[in-house]
Amino acid sequence: MLATNTVPATGYIIAVLAIMFVVTFTLRALPFAILAKLRESTFVNIMALWMPAGILGLLAIALLYSTYSSPETDVWKLLVAVGVTIASHLLLGRRTLVSIGLGTATYVVLVNFIS
């Protein structure tokens, strides 16, 4: 029976690290290698244009549904925060992180400081 406080052999550790490196590098490089061949594809260009907005929309719908379905939610606070997010996105040059941050901050302030 092996003792629980034994240290693995150096060769074993190096082999595990090498395998981890190869797998990680391959998984991270593979999409770029595939995408390089598909740059001229109309489908890929359409997906690059619409997918971020679609994912953000689905996340927003899920969040709004879960927040709205909570019994203690004031709908007007939720709508004001969504309005701030949309307005800041359109008025501040479509900076996604800034608009999401401002909308989140608005909602947090409304929920915690406004009755």
DSSP H helical segments within 69-95, as ranges?
Answer: 75-91
Q: CA nearest 112: which of 72, 64, 70, 61?
A: 72
Answer whether 0.95 is exceeded by the pTM: no
pLDDT in 10s for each residue of the chain, 115 residues = 555 778 889 999 999 999 999 999 999 999 888 887 888 889 888 988 888 888 888 988 888 888 878 787 788 998 999 999 999 989 998 888 999 899 999 999 998 999 7
Q: CA nearest 96: which of 106, 104, 85, 82?
A: 85
